[in-house]
């Protein structure tokens, strides 16, 4: 599997990937999604046979904090190590950053996945997350 920087925004492939996982809040507002990609710190992608199958998008300053905004793997490719490889690449590229954070659904599947790859709930660090 090759992970490469996602540098040339292709709206059709991005909307198809986001739609495949049901992230309709993004697909309903493609202009905001495009702007979000443009303002991202780093976005990485993986392809199979020239089809986008996974993406990870980060925001932050890259020195003290990196926030994993989006990690998406096409449902046909989930469970094959794509998501784990994308996360591992981000953790390696930003290994000197003190805080790498993400917010996700509180489901058994997502909690199990992130725990399996070594991430911990904020509460394990004596922290609490807030959002609006």
- Contact between 67 and 28 (Cβ < 8 Å): no
- Asked if residue 132 belongs to a domain, the reply is no
Tell me the pLDDT tens digit for each residue of 12-45: 999 999 999 999 999 999 999 999 999 999 999 9
What pTM did the predictor assign? 0.92
Domain holding 12, by residue range, is 3-125
In a domain, 39, yes or no: yes
Number of domains in the chain: 1
In-domain check, residue 130: no
Question: Residue 118: CB partners within 8 Å, gap ≥ 6?
Answer: none
Q: Measure CA of the first residue to CA of the last residue in the chain; give whole Å.
A: 37
């Amino acid at each position: 599997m090759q992970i490469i920087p996602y540098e040339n925004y292709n709206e059709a492939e991005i909307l198809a990937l986001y739609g495949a996982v049901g992230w309709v809040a993004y697909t309903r507002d493609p202009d905001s999604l495009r702007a979000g990609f443009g303002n991202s710190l780093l976005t990485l992608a993986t392809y199979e046979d020239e089809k986008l199958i996974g993406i990870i998008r980060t925001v932050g300053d890259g020195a003290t904090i990196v926030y994993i905004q989006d990690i998406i793997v096409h449902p046909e490719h989930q469970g094959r190590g794509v998501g784990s490889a994308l996360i591992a690449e981000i953790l390696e590229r930003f290994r000197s950053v003190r805080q790498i954070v993400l917010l996700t659904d509180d489901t058994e599947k997502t909690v199990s996945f992130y725990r399996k790859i070594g991430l911990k709930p904020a509460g394990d660090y004596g922290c609490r997350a807030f959002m609006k």
